[in-house]
Amino acid sequence: MLDGLRLHPVVKLVAQRIALGILLLLAASVMIFLGTLVLPGDVAQAILGQSATPVALANLREQMGLNDPAWQRYLHWLYAALHGDLGTSLSNGRDIATQIGSRLGNTLFLAFWAAVVAVPLAILLGLLSVRYRNRWPDKLISTLSLASISLPEFFIGYVLIYFFAVRLGWFTSVATIYDSMDLWDKLSAIVLPVTVLTMVILAHMMRMTRAAILNVMQAAYIETAELKGLTQFTVIFRHALPNAIAPIVNVVVLNLAYLVVGVVVVEVIFVYPGMGQYLVDHVAKRDVPVVQACGLIFAAVYIGLNLIADLVSIVTNPRLRHPK
């Protein structure tokens, strides 16, 4: 279809990848919808429990439109979701989109600051590890990262709370933020959750950064640059970096996608008013429309980040940018 247009290969690949992303998101929305269908009984049964009277069940089914065929309900749901209407909560009858609005902001705020701390730190540690490869700093960093990959978020979280909030009293154990707080207050409220999130993604990010840089540093063209008598600094910044940027950005973006998952647990630990907390609460209440809406948003963010990672490697590839 695009072949006839003689597009630049980069444009073509980018367009293909974006189209694939949209397709994937659509498929994910189908799965999220299906995920709530393939059950013993149906949503109404799940909400009201085994002891529900047939009349109550019938009423609820009517109210939720459960008597329509599944594909119709899916299209309705998707159409509404695309227009910003995520439906109403079963448990409290409120509009889901409004409730999510401010919480999504809070979650992004938390994730943003975690990224601000974790990304430079991970790259720095990755560089250190490469610089002192096979020597003690490298070994120490890799041992610590092996350990921190094994630690669940709530262990790190409660240890921090136990020592820094309870014993030392430096921070509060609950990270409450609201709109009227100024930035500084908000930041000091999220120090502990940001620390936990940082530790959770740091290890992965650092390991992958190390591998990405090592891969570039072992290339023959780095040796060529060294044999020109260039300084270590010039070799790294002029020859290694242009080739390492794409893999590093890739690593960073993939790990930001990890944040999406980490944030759910961290919000519960610190009773933080974000999307994760909201999602978990409503899973327990079996509030299906809320869970679907949250699931869709999390999936969209995740798929979007993966898409960005791929786009970066396409756009920075010299072979694609300057075809033969």
Question: Which of 124/147 has CB closer to another protein?
Answer: 147
Is position 312 an interface residue for another protein (rule: CB under 8 A)? no
Instruction: Specify the stretch interacting with another protein by CB under 8 A; choose among 1-9, 69-77, 120-128, 274-282.
Output: 274-282
Q: What is the 3-state secondary structure (H, E, C) of 144-194?
A: HHHHHHHCCHHHHHHHHHHHHHHHCCCCCCCCCCCCCCCHHHHHHHCHHHH
Question: Which of 198/277 has CB closer to another protein?
Answer: 277
Is position 308 an interface residue for another protein (rule: CB under 8 A)? no
Distance from C-alpha of 217 to C-alpha of 201, rounded to nearest angstrom: 24
Q: Shortest gap between Cβ of 24 and another protein (angstroms)?
A: 5
String marking each residue 213-252 x if it binds another protein according to CB under 8 A:
------xxx-xxxxxxxxx--x----x--xx---------
Amino acid at 292: Q
Looking at the DSSP assignment, which residues form a beta bridge with residue 95?
88
Helices 96-131/288-315 angle, 10° precision: 40
String marking each residue 29-48 x if it binds another protein according to CB under 8 A:
--xx--xx--xx--x--x--
Interacting residues with another protein between 105 and 134 (CB under 8 A): 134
By the 10 Å C-beta count (0-12 exposed, 13-18 middle, 19+ buried), 29 is classed as buried
Q: Shortest gap between Cβ of 136 and another protein (angstroms)?
A: 13
Distance from C-alpha of 160 to C-alpha of 171, rounded to nearest angstrom: 10
Q: Is 88 helix (H, G, I), strand (E, B) or coil?
A: strand
Structure tokens, 195: 């620390």
Comparing CA positions, the residue from 288, 262, 268 lying closest to residue 280 is 268
String marking each residue 140-179 x if it binds another protein according to CB under 8 A:
------xx-xxxxxxx--xx-xx--xxx-----x------
Binding-site member from 288, 308, 309, 312 for another protein (CB under 8 A): 288
Binding-site member from 125, 196, 302, 314 for another protein (CB under 8 A): 302
Binding-site member from 118, 201, 298, 312 for another protein (CB under 8 A): 298
Number of residues that bind another protein (CB under 8 A): 73
